[in-house]
Structure 1
Amino acid sequence: MQNREQFMEQIMGLDVLDTHTHLIGDRLAAGSFWDIAHYFWLHREMQAAGYPADADQLPEAERIEAFLSSYRATRNTLMNWVVTQIFRQLYQIELTDADSVRAADAAVRASAEQSGWAQQVADKLHIRRFVVNVVEHADFQGMDHKAVLIPRIDGRLHEWVQMVHEAEYPEHALAAVRESIDQLLVSYKERGCPGMMTTLPGFGTQANAVYCIRKESPKDEILMTLLHTICSAAQRSGLFVQLFLGVERSWCGTAVPVNDPYRIVKLSGLFDQYKNVFELVVASEINNLDTVQAAWNFPNVQLGGLWWFNFRASTYRSSMQYRLEALPAAQCSLIASDARCIEWSYGKILLVKRLLAEFLYEQIEKGWLDETVALQVAEEWLYKSAARRYGVV
């Protein structure tokens, strides 16, 4: 049996498919130190430690001192660990004082000018492919492959719901929207997209009910009716439906996680009625188990990476345990970096690979898995499952 360090190194060498990013093809790399330091997740933790909201307006010296103060105060947090590793492993820089921050800024600016930098970063962790959701972002310049395009339709879905809700004759508007949905998904298929994605707000309806849309119909009933239309059109076009769930914006001025115990079961009528593949990506901790139960009940339900408020070591460990016990490894993907620059994709995938290696090695030590099976699980979770679903060869 390999020792822990050898096994960790083997996991680090496995291929990865990053299933959800906000990377933009002609500016994949961070342009400055601050593009990395102000990544949303680290930024929130830094602000909790006193980092000013208007830090980008401060004179450079004050801004650097404010960063260092908050950086030191958040050394216990997971995103602090990630940004520390980004600068340590990609730039060989320890963030200790103002001079080190200036050196880091110079190094990031220099790397952004290197045409092959993004591919070099990806190769360090064997990140073979990336997914984007915007057509204009998919042409990855200076890299071996374009991004996999999985178009998002949540903006259009909101518009469609509004259109039907405000229409003088909702049944006519609904018919027009259904035609638009069918044409849109056919165009995705013709473009070569393997599927489409949407986020969903909180909703009070359920997929096993039939709603007759009238003038007084609430938006939730229209939303569920349109979800049926989308799933039906996706089934005809041979597209999978990727659902991002668990973040809601209706409670306050910012997005928050909502652990709705009925969220997944309310959608189960879709999984039961339509035969296309559904990929579930959730941002709320309690719903991790619900997605596993759905995938266990419905073979056409597959699980994606952990999203938004779920991106923590504790939720990864529990989610990996749920999935390992109940589901074939080929039914699950693990990586969704949500990164806006290649450096954060690297840092977050470094973290997930470490967590995965630790988790699987413990399973081997306890006798639940042998090394061969553990590596098969890792290969599926990191790359192969998503590659099959997305048609990546």
Structure 2
Amino acid sequence: MSSIGNGGNTKEQFINHVMALPVFDTHTHLVGDRLSARDFWEIAHYFWLFRELQAGGYPADAEKLPEEERIAAFLNAYKETRSTLMNWTFTAIMRELYRIEIKDAESIREAIAAVKRSSTDEGWAQQTADRLNIRRFVVNHPEHAVFEGMREHAVLIPRIDGAIGKWVDRVAQSADPAGEFLGVRSEISQLLGSYGAAGLPGVMTTLPAYETSAHIRYTISDSSTRDEIMMELLHAVCAASEQNGLLVQLFLGVERSWCGTAFPVNDTERILKLTALFEKYSCSFELVLASELNNLDAVQAAWNFPNVHIGGMWWFNFRASTYRDSMQYRLEALPASKSSVIVSDARCMEWSFGKIMLVKKLAAEFLWERLESGWIDEETALHTARQWLFESASKRYAMKEKHLTAKG
């Protein structure tokens, strides 16, 4: 077994060290009063695994099947997708949390009973998080932020993409677009002012495809396009964020307008068109990407602009291959404090556990390879892991004491 580094740790010791480090899950869909899966099928039908199972022959309406037929269909699709990443993650969830190996119908029935038991355990969510030292979670809706049965509430970073869409509609449909825009800009200032006063770290938004660029300023009028209105609203959001000390999280790379489902788009100008925002406003930005070819663009933006940081991998970017490439880009170009690597996108604590186990393993293996080949030493490798997994996000979100108050 190979050993290397100042401490002479073996690969197994190094990986175990990384696996024990604290984690900040920077984007989830967790709901505070139902953190754990309510039944086995909530875990088995998690979107990412479900897509892979469907590719393996699992019916889209499996929930309508009688239980035994559903179990048989799931088992067949599970075996068919043994090589896929989400199959690996689901298998790890069953193995690590429930000590169950999915191999036949009886093992699925055992899993159904085990998840039913855990769903009634008030301490299960915290115990699950503790197994991987997951200390903090981010949610985007105020009503989801009170985490029942947990030592800490979630960190709230409100999402405003729904509001942006409505603001664009109001301006575009108004008989007086210029006047309506001024009204909306005032609303943005007041809304983000309230977030700053509440001690929230920032705001989050997704963005659709846009033909405009932030370096061109537009005077809103009857002839303004929706893209021009949206870009000017982004300027207003950034100005208000700067004024109130807020972070702006930009989730980029998913399109929903071409068909009935979301799809990744590797737009070579997606980040380029936003760079004037990074240059003009002193607020911090965090880029979270869903498209593989934009990973290097994000690193270039973070390299060029001190206030730009990179978040974890989102949607179609959550692949072992893209993680490895992105980690290499980040390691060689950026201080570790400019980057976070955890975005579980989970809807239950079990999937936060499974996806974070995967990312921790990938990060540990990647850093060990860099260590073993002589590019970094052990101290640098562990410093990088700590920043990527927890410390950079904790600092970036500038969490104020009142926002960190644990549940009484």
Instruction: Identify the residue that residue 357 of structure 2 maps to in structure 1.
Output: 350
| Residue number among 303, 306, 312 corresponding to 2:313 in the alignment | 306
Structure 2: distance between partners of 1:92 and 1:15: 23
- CA deviation after TM superposition for structure 1 residue 190, in Å: 1.8
Structure 1: distance between partners of 2:234 and 2:217: 12
Structure 2: distance between partners of 1:174 and 1:139: 35
Structure 2: distance between partners of 1:348 and 1:53: 23
Question: Can you list the C-alpha shifts for 1:44-88, whole angstroms capped at 9, x where unaligned?
Answer: 000011100110000000000000000000000000000000000
Instruction: Identify the residue that residue 208 of structure 1 maps to in structure 2.
Output: 215
The answer as to 2:161 corresponding to 1:154 is yes
Structure 1: distance between partners of 2:188 and 2:53: 42
The answer as to 2:314 corresponding to 1:272 is no
- CA deviation after TM superposition for structure 1 residue 177, in Å: 0.3
SS at match of 1:270: helix
- CA deviation after TM superposition for structure 1 residue 348, in Å: 0.2
Structure 1: distance between partners of 2:263 and 2:91: 26
Consecutive unaligned residues of structure 1, counting only runs of 5 or more, are none
The answer as to 2:325 corresponding to 1:318 is yes
Runs of 4+ in 1 over 2 A off after TM superposition: none
TM-score normalised by L of structure 2: 0.96
- CA deviation after TM superposition for structure 1 residue 255, in Å: 0.5
User: Which amino acid in the other structure matches residue 51 of structure 1?
Assistant: Y
Instruction: Identify the residue that residue 228 of structure 1 maps to in structure 2.
Output: 235
| Residue number among 110, 127, 136 corresponding to 1:103 in the alignment | 110
- CA deviation after TM superposition for structure 1 residue 2, in Å: 1.1
Question: Can you list the C-alpha shifts for 1:229-264, whole angstroms capped at 9, x where unaligned?
Answer: 000011001101000000011111110000000000
| Residue number among 286, 291, 298 corresponding to 1:291 in the alignment | 298
- CA deviation after TM superposition for structure 1 residue 391, in Å: 2.6
| Residue number among 372, 376, 379 corresponding to 1:369 in the alignment | 376
Consecutive unaligned residues of structure 2, counting only runs of 5 or more, are 1-7
Structure 2: distance between partners of 1:344 and 1:310: 17
Structure 1: distance between partners of 2:14 and 2:84: 25
Structure 2: distance between partners of 1:181 and 1:122: 36
**Aligned counterparts, 1:45-194, within 5 A:** 45-194=52-201
Structure 1: distance between partners of 2:199 and 2:58: 44
TM-score normalised by L of structure 1: 0.99
Structure 2: distance between partners of 1:114 and 1:192: 32
SS at match of 1:29: coil
- CA deviation after TM superposition for structure 1 residue 217, in Å: 1.1
Question: Can you list the C-alpha shifts for 1:291-325, whole angstroms capped at 9, x where unaligned?
Answer: 00000000000010010000000000000000000
The answer as to 2:343 corresponding to 1:336 is yes
RMSD of aligned residue pairs (Cα, Å): 0.7
Structure 2: distance between partners of 1:103 and 1:364: 42
- CA deviation after TM superposition for structure 1 residue 192, in Å: 1.6
Structure 2: distance between partners of 1:333 and 1:51: 34
SS at match of 2:271: helix
SS at match of 2:292: coil
- % identical aligned pairs: 62
User: Which amino acid in the other structure matches residue 74 of structure 2?
Assistant: F
| Residue number among 246, 250, 259 corresponding to 1:239 in the alignment | 246
Instruction: Identify the residue that residue 38 of structure 2 maps to in structure 1.
Output: 31
Structure 2: distance between partners of 1:104 and 1:187: 45
- CA deviation after TM superposition for structure 1 residue 216, in Å: 1.9
Instruction: Identify the residue that residue 27 of structure 2 maps to in structure 1.
Output: 20
Question: Can you list the C-alpha shifts for 1:136-186, whole angstroms capped at 9, x where unaligned?
Answer: 000000000000000000000000001000000001110110011011101
Structure 1: distance between partners of 2:104 and 2:187: 56
